[in-house]
Structure 1
């Protein structure tokens, strides 16, 4: 374990160009320097403000205030990037698809943690709801892959943070753990080797629902104030997600009708008729037991549902329902409610908790697989702030789950430089988890017999379809 915490995984003699330098990028920088053998002069930061300049100066990293927008991004990338360099895109309000296309056209490695829009797109009411979703962004990304048409292109690892990113690898590990416990996988020859075989395994296990089930209990010694949004990661990033339409991957077993479908693309995802900040769902984590989370739009909900789909004669015969059931830290819950109450106007003040967080708070992030022979199985990471402080600076428990996954994706891309566009499920989960585990606290699986229970005020909406989404959503 000690050796892994000090290990240099790969040499890189080109530049790493970091776009955006908020809390995730600041937490990633010490991990890059710790585990990638690269001269500090080969790391370049391009960002919109001076908020991270002190940290960059501490490590003697080039810091450039050059905001990217629709009119200048191509010229700025040409200024800072040369063929063979890696773009590490951690910006918000910069269209990820444009940056990916530039990287593919100019022989640049690429990684990001989410697929972003230009500023103002996600709440532009002149656009259809479909065109303001993660589903739409993913379809734009897949269009680039389709246009490449098998041509060898530099590796672009998209959406490889904690979730999306790390959780897709948790899904694979959870499927393997279940399959071994049910004696479906007996030896190495039974292991899935391609996405179709992973989908077949999920179907064989009778997985109906995959919740990305997260509980953040981190709290600071400074109370949230009125007109202040407090969070443990990017405030702007979370606000974008919570105000977008609530999205999920829609399983083949579902009969729920209060959805809006897309009329283009893979058809794995649907929208609910409200923002993620207003849609609550019953979920379960080992730390809390039953909890209420929000169905926040995320790339992994669409990706996992799509890539675990089985078809016969172009008809879907199996697809799990997939969604992100997120219970953020208590101050973020209050902040989200305040935005809703103020007619979706964000607070004047924003604060990302870091040094003020007490040691005992944890971020428990995992995947909850429901419907199999043993009912429920949660697998994931439980990481405390106290552990985080001992591992790496400039992180909290939430950001470290993101940054270590980003680092693992970067290392994979450097070692596999000609793989073209890759989503997390396209990567080898064992390679990624080997790098990540020393930084994730307790990584463990838990069986559970949990299922939403009826009570005086809360009845099951569809008793004929036990695993239907309407039995999990509050007030369906």
Structure 2
């Protein structure tokens, strides 16, 4: 039975919150929507007014979140955490205690520690693990709790749904009479049977604006604060069972908690370049940026024999942002944000381009398969105001997750991999179209490797990295 949505509370009304506004109002009519944001610029106020949202200028923090949210949040409320540095785990537990639902697009702490490499405490793996431990405790208790969807936007989020779709498409191409998996073990067995060694979340954003980037200005197409925080975190990835040689194997740091599906390295994402490929852009050298889906996907696709891992793909995010954002990363070369003097999210000034975002499955048995979106700025604007291609992909994922949540209102904490992939494709994918499937012979080591027998290829991370080797 579908639950009824009574009201929605936004924490954060930046680019993504404003992008979600027209979709939410179009889908849920006159539902009461309230906005909390520390800035509420005239532009933000105008968008809130356009869609009939109530608003308050307020910075949600550890000392005031209960006072700000009490009276707004209760049964039938969807609490949307769309800000940077609002602790996900704290808000999940509090919202569930009020009988409310929760959704965010990434797992956040109250504050990031830029450039911290001394330990694994500043990693997305650790942040996710705290949520997973809470999820495990809740499930063991057997007490049903309101649904909290964590880390579900574009990536993390819909890319995990695309990974399932890509596995099914690869199976249809090369395996007779494939059977659709049902549970986690069956999905992992399918990936193993297909010889999938690497899953790259592969993105090339070509959107460009008419206004040049000013010296000291950091520009991108979704969130400046969010991208800076990611770029100044340690390099992280889901660690494949085949990663047995090379300097990265010797130098990565293992975690001592959780299922140990991920590792981190003592260098920052902003300093780490990696090869990937998309259908339109061809081979791309992007940045290896830490993301939650590297671990949720790797964990989902792990097979064990007792305590021994017998199969797991390597999973990571290979990102080439729009050219203005790529140039902006030079401001972080020193390992901190002190050189960033101004921030701007490209939206209305974009004149051309698309965000090509998908998953690239690399197999030791079959050609590479890429599945994902080639959403252009023109189509994004035609579908919804206050969006660029990047933001529409994010909020499209959010809208799909809300549809699932209302059909499963007492599921407790869930990740993207727990959601019904067919339902998400039906509700969210229309915001991402055109969706593209491409098959090609490609290997980061070059053409000779790409056309060599698949069984002879190596797929270790070292072959993809183009930054300086780890010491």
1:240 CA drift (Å) = 0.4
CA distance 1:313–1:340, change in 2 (3 Å): same
Q: Where does residue 339 of structure 1 map in the other structure? A: 332
Following superposition of structure 1 onto structure 2, how do residues 392-411 of structure 1 map, counting pairs within 5 Å? 392-411=384-403
Give distance in 2, aligned partners of 1:341 and 1:128: 16
Give the direction of change, closer, same or farther, for the CA distance of 1:167–1:342 in structure 2 (3 Å limit). Answer: closer
Residue 227 of structure 1 pairs with residue 198 of structure 2: no
1:196 aligns with 2:185: yes
Distance 1:320 1:270 in 2: 13
Contact residue 347 and residue 387 of structure 2 kept, 8 A = yes
Aligned residue for 2:266? 273
Q: Distance in 2 between matches of 1:158 and 1:448?
A: 33
Greater Cα shift, 104-113 or 245-254? 104-113
| TM-score of the pair, normalised by structure 2 | 0.92
For residues 79-228 of structure 1, the aligned pairs below 5 Å read 79-119=71-111, 121-123=112-114, 125=116, 129-148=119-138, 149=140, 150-186=142-178, 190-228=179-217
Matched residue of 1:208: which SS? strand
Asked if the contact 1:209–1:320 (Cα under 8 Å) also holds between the matched residues in 2, the reply is yes
Deviation readout 1:195-244 (Å, 9 max, x if unpaired): 11000100010100000000000000111110100101100000000001
Matched residue, 1:435: 427
- The CA distance in 2 between the partners of 1:441 and 1:345, in whole Å, is 39
Provide the C-alpha distance between the structure 2 equivalents of 1:414 and 1:29, rounded to a whole number of angstroms.
18
- State the match for 1:7 in structure 2: none
Q: Match for 1:314 among 307, 322, 325?
A: 307
Residue 278 of structure 2 corresponds to residue 289 of structure 1? no
Report the alpha carbon displacement of residue 438 of structure 1 after superposing the two structures with TM. Answer: 2.1
Q: Quick one: distance in 2 between partners of 1:282 and 1:184?
A: 32
Q: Deviation above 6 Å: which 4+ runs of structure 1?
A: none
Deviation at 1:180, TM superposition (A): 1.0
Q: Residue 6 of structure 1 corresponds to which residue in structure 2?
A: none
- Could you say which residue in structure 1 is the equivalent of 2:296? 303
Q: 1:124 to 1:367 in 2, by over 3 A?
A: closer
What's the CA shift for 1:12?
Answer: 3.7
TM-score, normalised by the number of residues in structure 1: 0.92
The CA deviation at 1:453 is 3.0
SS of match in other structure, 1:377:
strand
CA distance in structure 1 between the partners assigned to 2:236 and 2:136 by the alignment: 24
How many residues in Structure 1 have an aligned counterpart in Structure 2?
A: 452
Aligned residue number for residue 346 of structure 2: 353
Following the alignment from structure 2 to structure 1, what is the Cα–Cα distance between the partners of residues 118 and 446?
37
Deviations 1:408-459 (A, max 9, x none): 111211121011111001001111111122221210210010102359xxxx
Relative to 1, partners in 2 of residues 1:417 and 1:171: Cα closer, same or farther, differing over 3 Å?
Answer: same
Q: Quote the Cα distance in structure 1 between the aligned partners of 2:251 and 2:441.
A: 28
Q: Is contact 1:374-1:447 (8 Å) kept?
A: no
- Contact 1:11–1:36 (CA under 8 A) maintained in structure 2: no
Q: CA deviation at 1:341?
A: 5.0
Give me the whole-angstrom Cα distance separating, in 1, the residues matched to 2:461 and 2:385. 40
Equivalents in 2 of 1:397, 1:176: separation in Å? 26
Which of 388, 409, 413 in structure 2 is aligned with 1:417?
409
8 Å Cα contact 2:288-2:319 kept in structure 1:
yes
Corresponding residue for residue 74 of structure 1 = 66
Deviations 1:290-341 (A, max 9, x none): 1111110000001101110000112100000000000000000000112215
Matched, 1:47 2:37: yes
Paired with 2:306 and 2:445, the residues of 1 have a C-alpha distance of: 39
8 Å CA contact 1:97–1:140 kept in 2: the answer is yes
**Does the 8 Å CA contact 2:160/2:416 hold for their aligned counterparts?**
yes
Distance 1:342 1:110, change over 3 A: closer
Partner of 1:391: 383
Shift of 1:400: 0.4
Query: Residues 115 and 137 of structure 1 are in contact (CA less than 8 Å); yes or no, is this contact kept in structure 2?
Result: yes
CA contact (8 A) 1:185 1:191 kept: no
Q: Could you tell me which runs of 5 or more consecutive residues in structure 2 were left unpaired when the two chains were aligned.
A: 448-454
Unpaired stretches in structure 1, ≥5 consecutive residues: 1-9, 456-462
Q: Are the structure 2 counterparts of residues 263 and 319 from structure 1 closer, same or farther at C-alpha, using a change threshold of 3 Å? A: same
Alpha-carbon shift at residue 128 of structure 1 (Å): 5.1
> In the TM superposition, what is the alpha-carbon distance from 1:74 to its structure 2 partner?
2.3
- What secondary structure is seen at the aligned counterpart in 1 of 2:70? helix
Q: Quick check: 2:73–2:95 contact (8 Å CA) kept in 1?
A: no
Cα shift at 1:375: 2.5
Comparing 198-207 with 99-108, greater Cα deviation is found at: 99-108
1:261 aligns with 2:261: no
Q: What's the offset of the Cα at 1:404?
A: 0.8
Query: For the structure 1 residues 307 and 342, does the alpha-carbon distance in structure 2 shift closer, same or farther, using more than 3 Å as the test?
Result: closer
**CA RMSD, 1 decimal:** 1.8
